[in-house]
Amino acid sequence: MSAVKKITIAGAGIALGLTVLSSIAPKAQAVTFSGTTVAAPTWTRPNEGTPPSANTGIGTAVSYSSYAFNVDASGSYNFVSLATIPSAWDNYTFLYRNAFNPATPLVNAIIGNNDFMGVPGFGLSGFTTNLTAGVNYFFVTTGNTNTSVGAFTNTITGSGNVLGGSVASVPEPSTILGSALAFGYGIYSKRKLKIAQLLDVDKETD
């Protein structure tokens, strides 16, 4: 595959990811929370999947953070994790139903994701899945490898109210989405510059 074609595909993936983010319109109370995986407990991270079916071989002592919650209405919910400090550190997210035990990382796992919309190095991880009202869920934020650690801001939105966090301190949904889009646009702009530079190189070598 030519360099130009690879660049075009990467650019299309980033644009698609931003489009999906902009379409996440909360229907009820959203919840957002910040945390860090620095100096946090460690586990053997599973691979991504729906559900994850095997543990990874590159993340055998990865730091993680777990957030327990439930919802008051069954339906579709969006999960987005934004890597903040350092920006675009390689975050990874998982969702568990009923219980979460880091010693048995595949048990009760519903879904796992590394790069949001499959765009590598984007600093975003997340997914959309259906939840059942009254069931306990655990949103786990972790890293790709043993050295992938950092601060994050996570957002959960969907069909009903998300219970379990400090909802009173939640920013307006438009503020949450705006922060994610601003971060995404910054990464997108940097990649556009790299694309332009690579295209100039191709012209010089023609």
Segment 94-112, tens digit of pLDDT: 999 999 999 999 999 999 9
Mean pLDDT, residues 81-89: 93
Query: In which band, very low, low, confident or very high, does the pLDDT at 165 lie, cut at 50, 70 and 90?
Result: low
CA distance 63 to 13: 28
State the CATH number of the domain containing residue 124.
2.60.120.380
- The answer as to whether 195 is a domain residue is no
For residue 94, the enclosing domain spans 26-171
Q: Both tokens of residue 177?
A: 């989405």
When divided into structural domains, the chain yields a total of: 1
What does pLDDT average to over the chain?
76
**DSSP-based three-state secondary structure for 131:** strand
- Tell me the whole-structure pTM to 2 decimals: 0.70
Q: Report which DSSP code applies to 49.
A: B
Token pair 């999960």 in the structure block, residue: 79
- The answer as to whether 1 is a domain residue is no
- The answer as to whether 17 is a domain residue is no
Query: In which band, very low, low, confident or very high, does the pLDDT at 2 lie, cut at 50, 70 and 90?
Result: very low
**pLDDT at 176 > cutoff 70:** no
- The answer as to whether 192 is a domain residue is no
CA distance 163 to 101: 21
The predicted-structure confidence for 20-75, as pLDDT tens digits, reads as follows 444 444 457 789 999 999 999 999 999 999 999 999 999 999 999 999 999 999 99
The reply to whether omega before 51 is within 30° of 0 (cis) is yes
- The answer as to whether 185 is a domain residue is no
- The answer as to whether 145 is a domain residue is yes
